[in-house]
Chain A
Amino acid sequence: MKKENNKIVFSDEMTPVVGMPRRDFFKVLGAGIIIFFRPWGAMDVLSMPAEQRHSLPTDYNAFLQIGETGTVKCFTGKIEMGQGVITSLAMEMADALNVPFEKVEMIMGDTDLCPWDAGTWGSLTTRVFGPHMLAAAAEARGVLVDLASEKLGVPASQLEVKDGVVTDINDSKKSVSYAELTKGQKIKKFLDVKPLPEDYTKFTIVGKPRNHVDGVVKATGQAKYTGDLKLPGMLFARLLRPPSHGAKMTSVDYSEAEKVPGTKVIHDGDMVAVLNENHDLAENALSKIKARYSFDEMPVSNKNLAEWLVTEDKVVDVLSSDGDLAQGEKESDKVFESEFHDQYLAHAPIETHTALAQMEGEKLTVWASTQSPFGLKDTLVRELSMTPDNVRVITPFVGGGFGGKSPAQQGVEAGKLAKMTGKPVMVVWSRDEEFFFDTFHPAGVIKVKSGIDKDGLIKLWDYTIYASGSRGSETTYDVPNAKRTHYTTGRGNPSVHPFATGAWRAPNNNSNTFAREVQIDIMASAAGIDPLEFRLKNLKDVHIIDCLKAVADKFGYKPGKSPSGRGIGIACGADAGAWVAHIAEVEVDKNTGNVKVKRISCAQDMGMCVNPEGAIIQMEGCLTMGLGYTLTEEIFFKGGNISDRNFDTYDIPKFSELPEIQTVILDRMNQPPQGGGEPAIIAVGAVVANAIYDATGARLFTMPFTPERVLEALKKV
């Protein structure tokens, strides 16, 4: 075994220094130009929860350092969980500074090294963090050119930068590198103004496809995830879990667990944990604990879910209101009422929630698979009664998140146990725990009443959401009389859901796009108009219109009234500042109810695309993952008891389900960048539902479209 002292050996791209107090930061980084920048506007601050808001005025989101050797360290509180920003942010940095891509090193998700960041979610890295990072890089470049001007005695206007070397355009012998310029100097600048718009078209690295920089370490097993770290004397902890949400422990007997060799039991309030150097023995000890529980659970299960959600959600929030619904109904020749249902979904990343914690004197360090290292730090400070200076969170590579690793309960569990035992503690959630404690995509009910006139123009749109969220619920189409209403249990009241729910890749947009786009399809069919033509006729948003035209072209779409028997569906929508349109082709087995998606095409307008390779990978990922919520994924539960606890019953997309995938990214290099990790997932449910209708005439109103639901819908044709 490799000799290990009391420090963990990290791979180069993660965390070079252990246990460094913030005040020593500049000493350690030494020479170089340091640019601070403040990437959050006032509106962003107000939208933050209070506990996160506090650190904004005095903290900085990220900074970069040009070192003596010409390397560029880019510090960001963002984390890498497969979305590829470890590559795309470095590309932007390299372009803005005019340095070779290989010179940029990303330092990510370390609360001691990286300035504050709320978390990696909402497709905010490229569209919000990116432009500010570019502005900082542009200023750094400006400072360096000024320094070169002084050193070479040449006006700045006469200098150009290439590969980190500043050169006189009239005399190539007069040149100086960034490395030479930064040696021994440290210049601080503070950017307090909004970044200037960048001329992205001048970039030479951005916009060209580039393979992910972490490919080799991940393909060789060298990439370190949290669970791959090891400290001397490290104990594995397994925690006793209740059988259901709503269960309360009334008694516990762990005397047998204590007899397992090398086992330590910690019982503190509701927490019972067994710790052992050996993972198998910790597991074994856990199985020997006997506990009793009392139960207080909501009377809801999959059977009465929709009724429960609609009756429990009572507080009205009008999201938008245009025109007059009564007038809209009067102008309508045909009126349609539908009710759409969506289920609880698990995030199910292949890496379960994992954390390693170590106390060194007063200082607690927690390595955790989390989308929010600073959020976890805040929680640790609060729950362990520690000072912020004494808590550090480090995020190695994360094995998938999709919104599910925004909460990091496992980090608190490891932190508490490390503090109580004085030993390094590793918590690796079992798959059972991963399902049980998941913050599920919320189930929801959406009711839509809409109407069209004799020409097929939409005149009425009355849209109501129960229990799920409103992201992506915009009317999208040009409707004079439209209202959107959102029912909730009300702020401060208990949730209608019997367990935790949270953000799941493009949160709630999947549900809303499903409801809207199926309703549109119903109207197109009733109007006897081709569904693409119907959409174009009722849309004003040029972005979506362009996406629809692009995807029709890619797919080779031929117009036809639905149901045509061809099994071709269309859907479109917007998310994270980007626009998408999908066309899919399905085959439906009318005897079994089985749906096979044969082909799916997607066009996306995401503004400037930093790394087309990475963006296409994200689109493919969205389209593939989207097949899960569309066809197979649904959490079964009764009260607070989750029935699905592993992959044997919770069915995520597999190789056999993979359709032919075609992607188009619209050329928008002169536009600001938008989100790319989520948009393409939003319309998968809708496009498949519409394709099933086109194939069979059967309408599906409840996701996922299991064989039972398809057979049920076929009976109504």
Chain B
Amino acid sequence: MKNTGTKSIISDKMEKTISFELNGKKTEAVIDPAQTLLWVLRNHFGLTGTKFGCGMGFCGACTVLLDNEPVRSCQLSVGEVEGKKLTTIEGLSTGGQLHPVQKAFVEHDALQCGYCTPGMIMNATGLLLKNPSPTEQEIRDGMEDNYCRCGAHKRIIEAVKTASADMKGGK
């Protein structure tokens, strides 16, 4: 809705046209390529589901998928997404339907304050794209660097298991 053919200016120097696919839509932005991807997503594109947590890539609240790979958007510049496919939490559900990972998080109540949740869901989605049938240990290892302070870990593991079963069932 907000990113079709967008052309905007953030600062008046070092600008370049960055072309990439954002949540399934071809997108262009005239922008300083050194700008932090997280803040460009939030302020330029209004995609505020991607959260600021620690600013140094430790906590995972800002996780997005870049060519289906979970990455920390606070550690990337917008220039680094040139020509790539970027998916944020807003682009995960299709046709008004929750993505199986989102659905599983809701069903399991795998969240409390919900602030880490978009990052958790994006990381889990990336994990399942790479390994559709992870063991519990593989889920723990894969989710290890996404932090949740409320202590929803138990339910997040259960949700990822459910999503894994659901996604395989849908194929």
Contact = CB atoms under 8 A, between A and B. Distances in A.
A281 B12 CA distance: 12
A280 interface: yes
Contacts of B49: 220-222
B50 A221 contact: yes
B90 A220 contact: yes
A45 interface: no
B83 interface: no
A398 B112 CA distance: 10
Interface residues of B, number: 66
B46 A352 contact: no
B153 A399 contact: no
Interface residues of A, number: 62
Contacts of B2: 1-2
B75 interface: no
B79 interface: no
A305 B21 CA distance: 54
A622 B151 contact: yes
A215 B109 contact: yes
Contact of B149 (A214, A261, A349): A349
B98 A216 contact: yes
Given A262-B11, A350-B61, A646-B54, A82 B153 contact: no
A617 interface: yes
Interface string A336-370: 00000000000111111000000000000000000
B36 A655 contact: no
Contacts of A2: 1-2, 46
A403 to B, nearest CB: 12
Interface in B93-107: 93, 98, 102, 105-107
A623 B148 CA distance: 13
A221 B48 contact: yes
Contact of B102 (A219, A623, A624, A653): A219
B5 interface: no
Most A CB contacts (10 A, CB to CB) among B55, B59, B117, B149 go to: B149
Interface string B1-13: 1100010001111
Given A82-B112, A223-B114, A397-B114, A617 B55 contact: no
B106 A349 contact: no
A525 to B, nearest CB: 31
A561 interface: no
A654 B147 contact: yes
Contacts of B61: 350
A281 B34 CA distance: 11
Contacts of A350: 51, 53, 59, 61, 113, 115-116, 147-149
Given A211-B109, A402-B149, A218 B117 contact: yes
Contacts of B141: 655-656
Contacts, number: 188
A222 B34 CA distance: 27
B126 interface: no
A661 interface: yes
Contacts of A647: 54, 56, 58-59, 147
Nearest to A87: B109
Interface in A655-675: 655-656, 658, 661
Contacts of B88: 221
A347 B113 CA distance: 14
A611 to B, nearest CB: 10
Given A212-B109, A428-B52, A624 B117 contact: no
A547 interface: no
Given A1-B2, A350-B115, A215 B105 contact: yes
A248 to B, nearest CB: 27
Given A82-B111, A216-B98, A656-B141, 20 more contacts: A216-B106, A217-B114, A220-B90, A221-B47, A221-B49, A221-B50, A221-B118, A261-B11, A261-B12, A281-B11, A348-B149, A350-B61, A351-B53, A399-B114, A400-B150, A431-B55, A613-B109, A647-B59, A653-B151, A654-B144
Interface of A: 1-2, 81-84, 211-212, 214-225, 227-228, 230, 261-262, 278-281, 347-352, 397-402, 428, 430-431, 613, 617, 620-625, 646-648, 652-656, 658, 661
11 contacts: A82-B113, A82-B114, A219-B114, A230-B48, A261-B13, A279-B43, A621-B152, A646-B58, A654-B147, A655-B156, A658-B153
Interface of B: 1-2, 6, 10-13, 34-36, 39, 42-43, 45-56, 58-59, 61, 88-90, 92-93, 98, 102, 105-107, 109, 111-118, 121, 139-141, 143-157
